[in-house]
Structure formats: C-alpha cells, structure tokens
A and B are shown apart, each in its own frame.
Chain A
Amino acid sequence: MDNIRNFCIIAHIDHGKSTLADRILELTGVLHTTANAQVLDSMALERERGITIKAKSVRMPYQSRSGQSYILNLIDTPGHVDFNYEVSRSLKACEGALLLVDAAQGVEAQTIANAYLAIDAGLEIIPVINKIDLPNAMIDECRLQLEDMLGLPAKDALLISAKDGTGVPNLLEAIVSRLPSPRGGVDEPLRCLIFDSYYDSYRGVIAHIRLFSGSLRRGDRIMIKSTSKVCEVDEVGYFLPQITPSDKLMAGEVGYVAATIRKAGDIHVGDCIISPDRPETAAIPGFRRSQPMVFCGIYPINSSDYSKLAAALEKFQLNDSSIVYEKESSAALGHGYRLGFLGMLHMEITLERLKREYGQELISTMPSVIYKVVTTRGETLMIDNPSRFPTAAYIDHIEEPIIRARIIVPNAFVGPCMELSESRRGTLVSMEHLDTRRALLTYDFPLAETVTGYYDKLKSVSRGYASMDYDLAGYRSSDLVKVDVLVKENQVDALSFITVRDSAIPKGRALIHKLRKLIPRHLFEIPLQAAIGGKVIARENIVPLRKDVLSKCYGGDITRKRKLLEKQKEGKKRMKMVGSVEVPQEAFMLLLKMEE
C-alpha cells in the first residue's frame, strides 16, 4: 500500500488537464501514442466542448528514479461548475491533487473553487504551473496568485508544459515523493467509496470505487450503505485504461466493481459499499443524492414516438444517475417528460446527447428552477414547472433559489460584468482585488437568472476572460408572476414563464413579437397574446397566408414539383400542432434565446 498514490488533477477549464493526463499516461507507458489524444475524454461530445463530464480513473505502473515501483491511480474530475458535488466525491477518493494553473491565464474561478474543495477534503496539493512554453506565460504572477489567493507555498510549484512534456518527469517524481500513500487495513471491514458509475451492456452497472479498508473479490456479498441493498460481486478489476478484471481489490486501491446491479438508480455517487456482515461500518461523510436544480420538459415531435423517448431516457439514466425524470403532459405538447439536471450546462449536454445518441427529435421547453410557492393556506409547494403554478389568488408569496457566484474578471471588464449581473437581479456581496490585474466579484443571484444564458453573456462581455463558479445559497422571497401565452385563444402551457413583475410586460411583448415572426402564416388569422391571470399584457396578430402555390409548368417536370411539395411536407413534420396552429419547435426555446 505504501507504493500506491491516488491523485487527481484539478484545474479551470482549458488549463490543460486532459493534455497533462495524456503526458502522464505516455510516460508511464499506458498510452503509446498521441494519436488518440485525451483518453480520459472519451465521449466525442465532451471533446467537442473541451470538458470532461464524468469522472474516470486509470491505473498506471511507475518506476521512480530511485528504482522503486509504484502504482499511480489518476482519478479524473469533471471540470464544470454544475458538477461540484461530483468533483468533491472524486477528491474523496484521492490523497493528493495536482492543482494545474495556465501560466498565461493565472488562477481562475474554478481553480479557486476546486482548490477549496481539495483543501476541505484534506488533500495534499501540488501546485503546477502549466503552459510555460507560451510566450505570454506569467510564471511569477501565477506563483504570487497561488500564494495570495490560495495560501499555497509558491516555491513548491512545479513548472511544466504538458504540451511538449517539459517538467512532466519531475512531476511524476513529485507525485511519489510529496503525496502520501493511502492508509487503512486490508484486515479491517470493507469500506469503499463509489465515485462514479456507468452502464455496461454486458456487466450491468459498473461502479468506480476506492477501497479505504478491507478487500473485495468475485463472489463476495456486498451491501450498499444508504439503501442496505445486498448483492453479489460478479467482477472486480482496474482500468488500464481499458477495463481489466483482476482477482481482488485491496484497501488503498482504485478500480471497479460489477455486481448484480441492473439499475443505475440503485447506486449513487458518494455512496459507500460495505460488507453485509458489518452493517455498522461508517458511511463516507458528505454523501447526498445529487440534486437537480434546473428542469425542462422534453417532448417528441410526433406523439407516436413517446415510447421511443421513454426507452431512450431509461437507457440514458443508466449512464448518468444525476438526471431525474418523470412523466409530464402538456395540453400543447402532449405526453413527454420533465427532466431535472444539475445545472444549465448539464442540461445542454444531456439534451444534445439524447438527440444525438438516440436519434430523437425533441422539443425542449424553457428551463425552470424549483420555486417555493407558499399558499394563502400556509402550504409550501415546490414547483419546477411554471404551468403548475397555482392561480395568483392562492399564492401568498413565492421564493426562488439563490446562488452565490464568484466571478474573477480582469479589472477592465469589472464594469460590464457588474452591469450584466445587476441586470440579472444580482446583488453584490463583495469585491476584492486579487492583484493588480483582476478582481473577484461575489454576487448573489436568483438561479433562474443564470439558466437563461448568463454564463455565455458573462463570457462575451468580458471577451472570454471572466470565469465563474457558484454554490447554492438558499431561497429568497421575490415578487414573481406567471405569464401565460395564448396562440389563437389556446393557452400554450409550455410557453408560460415566471418572471419578476417589473419585467413581465416587456418580456411578454418581446416574446409575442418573436412568436409572430417565428410562426409561419396560416390560412387563417392567428392572434397571439401574453397574459397575467386574465389580463392581456401583449397582443399581436399573424395575418393569413394568401399565396402558396406552384404555378409554373416546368415543361412537365412533375418530379421537381413533387419534390418541392415533399420538402414542404417534411418541414411541416418538424412543427408541433397547437390546436390548429403549426408551431415550430424553436418557439419553445424562444425565451431562452431572447435572454441570450
């Protein structure tokens, strides 16, 4: 066990985490070529977005300069603000962390957030300054920031270029010399942490685990701590990085277990595996079920595809148990599902993957947060769907979730960032100058304001320089109203939205105006209205279509004519019927687009 080092790399997005992981894998001989670079980012979509969504681990052999043999377990961590809890679980599996900072960018919001998580988890931290080959590398400034902002000893920082490999051999030496080995006895009762899981069609649910004590073999009976569910171990092994079975896993090791677990929902990241003979074994502190924060409805374009969607979701959840879903029906959109996500990015990625991997055409509705609605009778309702809001007469007050966001931004962009944040109902908590260049703004925001493109907007007003991280900071009472949209006198529940009273009229007007441009002209007039309760706050009309005809003869080229009509028919298939009106699917995301 003395020869094991369990570590992770924590960094702000794009600071070179995946590239460094590749170099480490190459130096330890696990990866022979750079051809399939970024092994840890296996999902194509992740690569596209340059982020790792779900944690994975790789076991690597390493011989130090002193001739000693080691086992290095690199545990990957998800790199986005929505996945704080998942990051904290991955950190729990490690004794040490490499805190990677881009020499040209310096410490960013996620660097700080992740460093705090690592410090909280009691990890030994090795600060690493990456990209020192860049002409605009600011090594000294980075050292200062590490010291000032994170209290990490700057002299200990390693200088590397993950891209060309400079300094990486020294980094490996530092991992074995500076990071502690795991502790915990093989003879003690089994206790291991589940830090990730995925679904394998042969083995069922595969749990990534870290053993703190005891050992685990095929045939062992195990118990899931939080549910007391007992099952039998089918297989244990390591990721090298390909999945490789072994005889057993011992205390201190990192690997996987496949047991008779068929449903992803049966295990949760952060949960603990123990022996059913020793049910009193303590859980790993900090476990909680992941809590969805952002919700949206998804609907098949054709109602007949509903069962296909159900199957796709079920399969999808096997790989990502942080997604929750339940049946939902909408008067406008028919039968669908309401999905809950950890955050906005998680939502975007999931919807994209659903569409891509399962070939589903989907309508997704405007994202919503969970509102706490206190009724006049004193009940508290948690409502994640605007269409389920009680009528105004029954509402005493509404509370909405608040986040505390930390935004790091160069001084030059402090103004625009504050302006943006205030326009999104942010309240400034504090502003600190980190150094001569940058400021740290702490804001409290309604979460609802950030689900509509706040992060993208922040990036754009700061020309990409601002970085952000957030925590949930409870609920706060707000003057909110529900705005309904009526298309040809039919209320379209999927277009209802919640907003602060002051912006209801401008938002309602803007939405109606956009809808008028988006919905194609029909053969009849279509009145569009926005209303609060029974009171109409905006109205426009779509005038009837008067001409849609193929009049030319085309010299008997009927095929061309038919193809034009078929194209028109295809276009219609992509529309959702709301009463007698064909509404393009983009309509249901219009509000989001408007905010962006």
Chain B
Amino acid sequence: MRGLYVHVPFCARKCSYCDFYSLPARLDLLEAYVQAVVHESHRYGGLSFQTLYLGGGTPSLLGPGHLRELVGGIGKSVDLSELIESTIEVNPESATGALLEAAREAGINRVSIGVQSLSDYELQGVGRIHTAAQAVEAIILASRLGFKSVSADLIIGLPGQTWSALHRTLGTLVGAGIEHVSLYCLSLEKGTPLEKSPPLDLPSDDTQAQLFEQARSFLLGHGFIHYEISNFALKGYECLHNLNYWRGGEYVGLGPAAASHLYGRRFRNRADLDAYIDRPGYLTEDVEELDVRDKASEEAMLRLRLLVEGLDAGELAAKFGRDNIEPLADRLERMAHDGLLVFDGLRYRLAPSRVLTSNPIFAEVL
C-alpha cells in the first residue's frame, strides 16, 4: 500500500488557530504551483499508488480547471491505475457544484469537508469565512454527486462551544448521511493569533475532554466506529489514506511542506511556495532514517493510534526482527500489566479510557 499526498498551500483567509503551511492571497501563483507539482511528480515516475489525498490549505480553491490539470498531470507520470481511494479536502464556501463535478470526473471518490462546526458563532470566532448553512449545502451536494464517502472535520473546543451546540452539529451531520467524522481538539499552536490572544470563552482542557467524550458517545450511538484517536467512520468507510500513515506505510508528499515516507526514510519539502515553484521537490528538510529499533518503536506508536486494529506484536516482530523489538516488547508488556494498554493475546490496544491521555503512553512506547 502506498499513498500519494498533495499539499495545496492556498487559503482564502488564514483561520486564527491554523499553523499549517498555507498562504492567503497568493492565488495568482495557482497555475505555476500546479505545473510545479506535476513537475515534482516526475521524480516518482513509475511508482504506483493505491490512495490519493489532496490536502491543504484549501484544495477546493484550485477550481475545476486547475484540479483537472493537477490530477491529470500527476496521473501521466505516476501510476494511478490502482487507486482505491482518492480524497479531496474542500472548504464549504469553495465546494461548488462545478468543482465537485470536476473532482468526480478526475476519479476522486471521497470528499472531506472542513465543516469545523455548524454554529455560526463558533465559526466566526476563529475566522472561518463560511456559514453553517454553506457547510450543510456542501455535504448535500457531495452526497448527491455520488461520492462514495463524505467526511466532515470538526473541531472540539472552539471558543464558546457548548455540548448543546456540538450535539446539534453532530445531529445535523449524521442526519445528512455523513459516513466519516474527524474530531480534532483545538490546540493553541505557537505564533497563531489564537495563541497570542486567546478569547475568554475558550474551553479548558477539561471541558474539551468532556466535549470529546460526549461527541464520542453520540457517534458510537449512531453506529460509528472510533477507529483512530481522532477519527470515526461507519463500517467500511475508514480513510485508507490516513490508515496507511498509522500502519507505518509508504507515502509520497508533493507540494511545499508535504511529508513523505519512502524506502524507510522520512523527509519533508521545505515550506516555501516560491522556492518550490522555482525548483519543485529539490528542497527537502528533516530527512530522517531511523535505525531499526527506533523504526519499530515508531511504528508501534503509530499503530497504537488505531483503536480497533491495534498493534499485532507478532507482525511487528516479523517485520523488524524479534531481537530488534525485544526491549519494545518488554515495554509493551509492562504497560499492559499497568493497565495502560489492553492485550488480548495477539494485539495491544490503547485502553479506551486512555484515548485522551495517550501522549504519555506513546512517549513511553518510543
């Protein structure tokens, strides 16, 4: 399994919590960007991919023309014939009928909508430029156009968020027939406007935890499976592209700031659009090739995020060598003994009560 990720670093406006690489007001560079990504894809000519994911930023800002050009161009250099899942992230305000139709035509079968909330108060509070109504329209539109799966991103802990508002949001989404929900806890990332001047009604960590638990119960009650720390899906609708990340799989990232994992090595394109357009894919950073033991620990840490699938200790030993995972195996065993992990004789899983406090456990695994 190999995934292809394309980072689309454009935004109409930067949200106050966002620390991803995205640039508002650089839409004049769209054409040059698309050509650069197609150019970069030649570096991976001959590789075949089973998933494609256009993330951002705001990929829906590409518009129908550039979207076609991008996917078409990439498809000429790398092998996309085996694609099982192909996702585009869209923002409600730019998820137009024309864009979504172009996406369908380009073979994209999954839409991930940046809904974040269906409360206009919460949306405005963090600088989102769409309304709740636009988000609902986008969901309905996407479902009507026959995408196999529609997903919504939601943020837990938006300023002023209450359970009754979040409950309404979830209810509407489920009612609209959504198949997949990602719940991300709001975090104050260094240097973001939200971090610099957090609003007074920002929910505390404790409140966030409570909201998350309530949302989780709601989704489980509606048939969703909590398959990864932040992700819920109806059976069969898990996001394969992201699953591949957690399974330690290979993937290639195209575009500025995109991360790759190929032949055991992790690296990332520099977060610099101009430099990228100039020499696509030449400026890589954070190149990292872990030794086999660290690699095994990393994969264990990632796989433990998969709450249902968990970590198959035998599989890990087969992949990395029994000797190499010995200290790790001891740690896992001890953590299971201490009740941090659950072991069923075959697989280790995160104890359900520990999902929101998993960092110390993962730190221990590493």
Contacts and interface: CB of A to CB of B under 8 A. Distances in A.
Interface of A: 523, 545-560, 562, 565-566, 568-569, 572
Most buried by B among A523, A553, A554, A568: A553
B55 interface: yes
Given A556-B261, A562-B298, A565-B362, A546 B245 contact: no
B184 A552 contact: yes
A555 B366 contact: no
B355 interface: yes
Interface of B: 3, 5, 7, 20, 55, 182-185, 187, 205-206, 208-210, 212, 229-230, 242, 245, 251, 253, 257-261, 266, 268, 286, 288, 298, 301-302, 354-360, 362-364, 366
Given A556-B5, A556-B251, A556-B259, A550 B359 contact: yes
Given A545-B357, A557-B259, 16 more contacts: A546-B209, A546-B210, A546-B356, A547-B206, A548-B356, A549-B356, A549-B359, A550-B229, A553-B242, A555-B7, A555-B258, A558-B259, A559-B266, A565-B301, A566-B366, A569-B364
Given A551-B184, A553-B242, A559 B357 contact: no
A572 B206 CA distance: 22
Contact of B20 (A555, A556, A558, A568): A555
A65 to B, nearest CB: 69
Contacts of A553: 182, 184, 230, 242, 245
Contacts of B366: 562, 565-566, 569
Nearest to A544: B357
Contact of B360 (A552, A554, A568): A568
B274 to A, nearest CB: 20
Nearest to B286: A559
Nearest to B267: A559
Contacts of A554: 259
A134 to B, nearest CB: 47
B185 A558 contact: no
Nearest to B246: A558
B5 A549 contact: no
B205 A547 contact: yes
B87 to A, nearest CB: 12
Kindly name the residue among A549, A553, A568, A569 whose own CB sees the greatest number of chain B CB atoms within 10 A. A549
A523 B260 CA distance: 35
A485 B258 CA distance: 51
A552 B55 CA distance: 13
A545 B206 CA distance: 8
A581 to B, nearest CB: 13
Contact of A555 (B205, B259, B298, B356): B259
B187 A552 contact: yes
Given A553-B242, A555-B20, A558-B259, A546 B206 contact: yes
B301 A549 contact: no
Contacts of B302: 558
B230 A551 contact: yes
A557 B270 CA distance: 12
Contact of A562 (B185, B301, B358): B301
A523 B257 CA distance: 35
A556 B356 contact: no
A565 B359 CA distance: 7
Contacts of B266: 558-559
Contacts of B253: 555-556
A533 to B, nearest CB: 34
Contacts of B20: 555
Contact of A556 (B212, B245, B298, B359): B245
Nearest to A555: B55
Contact of B363 (A558, A559, A569): A569
A516 B128 CA distance: 38
A565 B358 CA distance: 10
A274 to B, nearest CB: 61
Given A556-B5, A558-B245, A547 B357 contact: yes
Contacts of A558: 245, 259, 261, 266, 298, 302
Most buried by A among B208, B242, B257, B259: B259
A552 B5 CA distance: 16
Nearest to B360: A548
B363 A549 contact: no
Looking at A551, A560, A562, which has the most chain B CB atoms within 10 Å of its CB? A551
A135 to B, nearest CB: 46
Contacts of A550: 229, 358-359, 362
A568 B268 contact: no
Contacts of A556: 3, 5, 245, 251, 253, 259-261
Contacts of A560: 286
B259 A551 contact: no
A153 to B, nearest CB: 67
A553 B244 CA distance: 12
Nearest to A548: B359
Minimum-distance CB pairs A-B, first 5: A546-B209, A569-B363, A557-B259, A547-B209, A547-B205
A555 B9 CA distance: 12
Given A552-B187, A569-B364, A559 B359 contact: no
A559 B209 contact: no
Contacts of A557: 259, 268
Contacts of B183: 551
A77 B3 CA distance: 73
A550 B355 CA distance: 10
A547 B356 contact: yes
Most A CB within 10 A of own CB, among B182, B298, B360, B364: B360
Nearest to A557: B259
Contacts of A569: 363-364, 366
A584 to B, nearest CB: 15
Nearest to A550: B359
Contact of A546 (B260, B288, B357): B357
Contacts of A546: 205-206, 209-210, 356-357
A8 to B, nearest CB: 55
B259 A549 contact: no
Q: Which of A550, A556, A558, A562 has the most CB of B within 10 A?
A: A556
Nearest to B362: A565
A562 B294 CA distance: 11
Contacts of A547: 185, 205-206, 208-209, 212, 356-357
A572 B364 CA distance: 10
10 contacts: A547-B185, A548-B360, A550-B229, A550-B358, A555-B5, A556-B259, A556-B260, A558-B266, A562-B301, A565-B359
B351 to A, nearest CB: 11
Given A555-B55, A556-B259, A549 B242 contact: no
A551 B210 CA distance: 15
Given A549-B229, A565-B359, A568-B363, A559 B185 contact: no
Nearest to B206: A546
A549 B288 contact: no
A330 B126 CA distance: 51
Nearest to A545: B357
Most chain A CB within 10 A, of B3, B20, B362, is at B362
A556 to B, nearest CB: 5
